[in-house]
Amino acid sequence: MLLCSILLLTGCGNSNLKWYVVSPATEQGRINLKFLLSGTKDTLLMSLLALGISIFVGLLIAIPGIARQKPLRATNVVYVELVRSIPLLPLILWVYYGLPEIAGVQLDYFWAGVFALALSDSAFEAEIFRAGIQSIPKGQSEAGRTVGLNYFQTMWYVVLPQAIRRILPALGNQFAYMVKMSALVSVIGLQELTRRANELIVTEYRALEIYTILIIEYLVIILIIGQGVRWLERKMGSDELNAGR
C-alpha cells in the first residue's frame, strides 16, 4: 500500500496526469471505477474454478508419481514436463481457437480460460502434492494399514490430511499466481479486470492512471488471499495441536 500511496502522491503533483478519470470524487471517475471493478467477479470465479480443477487433476497425476512401478512414474514425469513446458498464453489461444478444429468443441471465453489455466496449473499442483505426500513419514502409511485400511483409505484419511497442512502455503501461492495469470485470458475477450482496463483506456486515453488502479486492484486481491491462507495455516495448525493433546 505504501507503493500505491507514493504513486498517487507523485501523480497528484504532475499536471500531465488526470486522476479525475478514476477518482471517486467525480461522477465520471465513479462510473469508470465501477466499470473496472465489475471485472473482479469473472477474475476470481475463473481463478477459483481453475484452481479446483487443477488440484483434482494434479492429485490424480501425483499418485502415479509415488508409485513403485516405473511405467506409472514415467506417466507422471511425461505429463508434468510436457504441460509445464508450455507457456500459458499460447495454451490459452490453443484451447480457444484449436479445440473447435480438433475436437469440434467450442468453449466460450470464460470456460476456455478456466480450462487453460487449470491445465497449465495441474502440472505444478501434481509436483506440490507429490512432494507433500512424500514428506509424510512411511510409518503413517504403515499405521493405517495396520488398522485395516487399504491403500486408498490410508491415502485419503491418513496421508493426505497431513500433506495438505504442509503444502497449504504452496497452494495459496498457486491461487495467487492463478489470479495474476488470469489477466492473460483478456487476449481472447473475457471481460475480466485487465480487459476492462484496456477497454477503458480506449475511451479515456489515460493509460497510466487506469493501469495504476488495475495494479492496486490486483494488489488488494493478492493481499487478501495471502491473509486468508495464513488464517487457514493457523487454524489447521491449532487443530493439529489440539488433536495431538
For 36-55, write each residue's pLDDT tens digit. Answer: 888 889 899 999 999 999 99
What the chain holds in terms of domains, given with CATH numbers, is 27-234 (1.10.3720.10)
Nearest to 237 by CA among 135, 166, 144: 166
Q: How confident is the model at residue 241 (pLDDT cuts 50, 70, 90)?
A: very low
For 96-140, write each residue's pLDDT tens digit. Answer: 998 888 887 788 889 999 999 999 999 999 999 999 988 888 888
237 pLDDT more than 80: no
pLDDT above 70 coverage of the chain, percent: 90
Nearest to 67 by CA among 170, 166, 155: 155
Q: Full-prediction pTM beyond 0.95?
A: no
For 220-231, write each residue's pLDDT tens digit. Answer: 999 999 999 888
Alpha helix ranges (H) inside the chain:
2-12, 27-37, 40-65, 70-84, 88-93, 99-102, 109-134, 138-146, 151-154, 160-181, 193-204, 207-244
* Phi, psi for 103 (deg, rounded to 5): -110, -5
| Predicted local distance difference test score (pLDDT) of residue 6 | 44
Any residues with CB less than 8 A from the CB of 95 and at least 6 apart, and which?
A: 107, 112, 115, 116, 119
Please tell me the distance from the alpha carbon of residue 214 to that of residue 225, in angstroms, as a whole number. 17
219 pLDDT more than 80: yes
